[in-house]
Structure 1
Amino acid sequence: MIFVHTADWQIGMKAAHAGTAAGRIREARFDAARRVVELARQHQADFLVLAGDTFEDNAVDRKLVQRVADTLAAFAGPVYLLPGNHDPLVPGSVWEHPAWAACDRLHILAKAEPIDVPDGRLYPCPLFEKHGSSDPTIAIAAADDQRIAVGVAHGSVEGIPQDRPDFPIARDAAARAGLDYLALGHWHSTAAYDGRMAYSGTHETTKFNERDSGNALLVEIDRRGALPRLTTLRTGGLTWLSLDEPIRAEGDLARVRQEVESIADPEQTLLEIALHGVLHAADRDELSRIDEIAAARSLFHRIDASRLLPAPEDDRWLDDLPDGPIRAAARRLQALANSEATDGTPERASSEATSPEVAARALFDLYAIASGGRR
């Protein structure tokens, strides 16, 4: 038995966190879906399994449902779709769309009953609500099955840190149920447990710092009782790159700029940069340059320089300020920002507002105002 396990397509997600790039991100999820289908064809998979959350919710535009059905219908073999917690099987759900019935190879796993598949049997665990506290796999009893037994479920494997587990699944669920493999959805990172159960992860990364996502799994099971062979298939097309950059000395920002300039395939890259440390006056133009390059080349970018403070000992910050009250105020802020006692601790200030860090930030803001917004 050879099949492709995928999940958590979440077609119709808003992607509002990506601003004007949201539309491109939504379309990238269809691009990745087509790659899943093409990889299944290339690997001569017997069938495709979608382990829940194919859609963001049951209120998605019905045109998206038709597009997903058309995409999956391009696969020559059967496709099995499990309702997840984002798209549970409820009245009026996406699963009532006529597109599913229009192709006899598309099968909605609407009942918790085993069904025959090429070379084996599928044990689906569809969801009928958005939240739940019971293990959806608890009723699977495949131990006496003589054929290869594959479960399909959507939920949280025990031990994953979270505030409130939705549809908790025991770590020994596959062994307890007598399954050769348990195809899981819900979490977006590819992860395997004891060799017989795994999350495929989402087929296209959805946000920054979402590790091991943008994949599907090729599952090969030689016979009943054999350990599955899992191969990660790269399906994602977008790169969500997060850079955390300490700035300590002159030239450090130039290094960050060079790193941004060297990004491969920037048009498919979403970039966030966090800068922290001290900024020397000689490097202040590098901030604008980094922003310009990222804005011109990347699909999306944001730069957080809120923890980047002017080097308080650098008098060059004052050079461009006009003589008089502004420069005098800047010198006072510089002194406060640089007020270190002989024992290495900040001198006691009369209030929180005059702490060295706040004074350094105020100096930075004063320079920006006096120089017409330049930093």
Structure 2
Amino acid sequence: MKFLHSADWQLGKPFGRFDPDVRGALTEARFDAIDALGRAAAEHGAQHVIVAGDIFDTEGPEDRTIVQAISRMDRHACSWWLLPGNHDFARNGGLWDRVRQRAGDKIAILSEPEPRELEEQIWLLPAPLIHRHNLEDPTTLFEAMETPGARLRIGIAHGSIRDFGSSGETKNQIAPDRARLSNLDYLALGDWHGTLKVDARTWYSGTPETDRFQRDEPGGALVVEVHPDIAPTVTPIRTGRFQWLNRDWTVNDKAAFDAECDELLAKVDAPNTLLQLSLAGITSLGDRVAMLARLENDLGHRLRHLAVRPDDLVGRPREEDLAALSVEGMLGTAATKLNAKIDAGGPDGVIAKRALERLFVEYSREEQA
């Protein structure tokens, strides 16, 4: 059989660090990803979409978030199998009871650790989380689950097969060889927000819409085809709209900086790109001012979002810069003293660097006025 493996939709994520227009676009893109999954299921001939946890970002989303999610799923012919994760864990009277009240026959909520028959003799073994953090491997229950006449056994769980450190979403540890231990033909995992192959039968699908500056690739899902007694065929596909990029540029003049900008714009879909940019290098103050001006007045308007860290881009005055400042006498004296503090280093040098840049900028403005 063939199905789509997805996880970590994080519907209702607030994106509070962004401006309202960016926040709105990112929120809407997460709902659009449901439609992308539904279309992909139809395109690839998959009757089921299995979602391995964290469908919602919290256990108490707004009603609109629930209704939007259900209405998007209902627009597609496939069945949706939803597992509670650590962000939206299962508890009596909680989120999943609210979802059940609105969901139709296409949506199955896997809030109990009980095997479900996807199709004849094809069993889905769920390991829902009932707490945000579990001390025991939630998939140990697979070994006791009875699947009469099973041709295929597919596990679904949410947790970590290793310590992901600060990048991980939970402390719920899953045995890395769970597929072998529990005789699974495939184990669909959620929690890690990028596509990750653990072994031939165990995969993380990643999130369908990227939500952080952690990896370059846009969101995606996995098309999984399973057959008895042979390894499954797993094909990653793209479902996400936005790319979140981290870039570190070392530039020593405006020409090198412009080349980096032009190369970036040639490779990305700018309106659907969020960029976190760190600049480093030693350049003239004039070039530094011009670089930051292009970021503010050009690149920042083309991209969906731009965050710049320019602290390591050091602006040092050229001889002609100092000569221009010395025209005013006292300004030249001040520039010389500031340069001496910069050369001496230490905290005063950092402050002097900023002061000298400010001096040059203000002088340049007066000259252009």
Q: Do both share a fold (TM > 0.5)?
A: yes
Aligned to 2:19: 19
Shift of residue 18 of structure 1? 2.8
Aligned to 1:343: none
1:286 to 291, 302, 324: 291
| 1:140 equivalent in alignment to 2:133 | no
3-state SS, counterpart of residue 157 of structure 1: coil
Shift of residue 207 of structure 1? 1.2
Change in Cα spacing, 1:317 to 1:138, as seen in structure 2 (3 Å) is farther
Q: Deviations over 1:180-215 (max 9, x none)?
A: 111001110100111111110000000112355501
Instruction: Provide the C-alpha distance between the structure 1 equivalents of 2:218 and 2:269, rounded to a whole number of angstroms.
Output: 18
Aligned to 1:221: 226
3-state SS, counterpart of residue 262 of structure 1: helix
Aligned to 2:328: 323
Instruction: Provide the C-alpha distance between the structure 2 equivalents of 1:233 and 1:139, rounded to a whole number of angstroms.
Output: 31
Aligned to 1:307: 312
3-state SS, counterpart of residue 18 of structure 1: coil
Aligned to 2:91: 90
Instruction: Provide the C-alpha distance between the structure 2 equivalents of 1:104 and 1:48, rounded to a whole number of angstroms.
Output: 14
Whether the 8 Å contact between 1:8 and 1:201 is mirrored in structure 2 is yes
Instruction: Provide the C-alpha distance between the structure 2 equivalents of 1:236 and 1:131, rounded to a whole number of angstroms.
Output: 28
Aligned to 2:353: 360
Change in Cα spacing, 1:319 to 1:108, as seen in structure 2 (3 Å) is same
1:231-250 alignment, distance < 5 Å: 231-249=235-253
Whether the 8 Å contact between 1:250 and 1:280 is mirrored in structure 2 is no
Equivalent position amino acid for 1:123 in 2: L
Change in Cα spacing, 1:143 to 1:198, as seen in structure 2 (3 Å) is farther
Whether the 8 Å contact between 1:190 and 1:212 is mirrored in structure 2 is no
Aligned to 1:152: 156
Change in Cα spacing, 1:305 to 1:228, as seen in structure 2 (3 Å) is same
Whether the 8 Å contact between 2:201 and 2:232 is mirrored in structure 1 is yes
Q: Deviations over 1:132-182 (max 9, x none)?
A: 221110111269863200011000112534599611011111111111111
Q: CA RMSD in A?
A: 2.6
Shift of residue 249 of structure 1? 3.8
1:63-102 alignment, distance < 5 Å: 63-97=64-98, 102=103
Change in Cα spacing, 1:143 to 1:367, as seen in structure 2 (3 Å) is farther
Equivalent position amino acid for 2:346 in 1: E
TM-score (norm 2): 0.89
Aligned to 1:345: none
Q: Which stretch has the larger CA shift, 164-173 or 269-278?
A: 164-173
Whether the 8 Å contact between 1:217 and 1:231 is mirrored in structure 2 is yes
Equivalent position amino acid for 2:82 in 1: L
Change in Cα spacing, 1:227 to 1:26, as seen in structure 2 (3 Å) is same
3-state SS, counterpart of residue 285 of structure 1: helix
Change in Cα spacing, 1:264 to 1:102, as seen in structure 2 (3 Å) is closer
3-state SS, counterpart of residue 201 of structure 1: coil
Whether the 8 Å contact between 1:321 and 1:370 is mirrored in structure 2 is no
Equivalent position amino acid for 2:172 in 1: F
Equivalent position amino acid for 2:233 in 1: R
3-state SS, counterpart of residue 97 of structure 1: helix
Equivalent position amino acid for 1:365 in 2: R
Where structure 2 has 5 or more consecutive residues not aligned to the other structure, the ranges are none
Equivalent position amino acid for 2:337 in 1: R
TM-score (norm 1): 0.88
Instruction: Provide the C-alpha distance between the structure 1 equivalents of 2:348 and 2:106, rounded to a whole number of angstroms.
Output: 70
3-state SS, counterpart of residue 221 of structure 1: strand
1:270 to 259, 268, 274: 274
Whether the 8 Å contact between 2:216 and 2:245 is mirrored in structure 1 is no
3-state SS, counterpart of residue 59 of structure 1: coil
The count of aligned residue pairs is 361
| 1:48 equivalent in alignment to 2:68 | no
Identity %: 31
Instruction: Provide the C-alpha distance between the structure 2 equivalents of 1:53 and 1:307, rounded to a whole number of angstroms.
Output: 38
Instruction: Provide the C-alpha distance between the structure 1 equivalents of 2:366 and 2:163, rounded to a whole number of angstroms.
Output: 49
Whether the 8 Å contact between 2:116 and 2:123 is mirrored in structure 1 is yes
Instruction: Provide the C-alpha distance between the structure 2 equivalents of 1:69 and 1:328, rounded to a whole number of angstroms.
Output: 69
1:120-139 alignment, distance < 5 Å: 120-139=122-141
Shift of residue 68 of structure 1? 0.7
Equivalent position amino acid for 2:55 in 1: T
Structure whose residues are more often helix by fraction: 2
Whether the 8 Å contact between 2:218 and 2:243 is mirrored in structure 1 is no
Shift of residue 99 of structure 1? 5.7
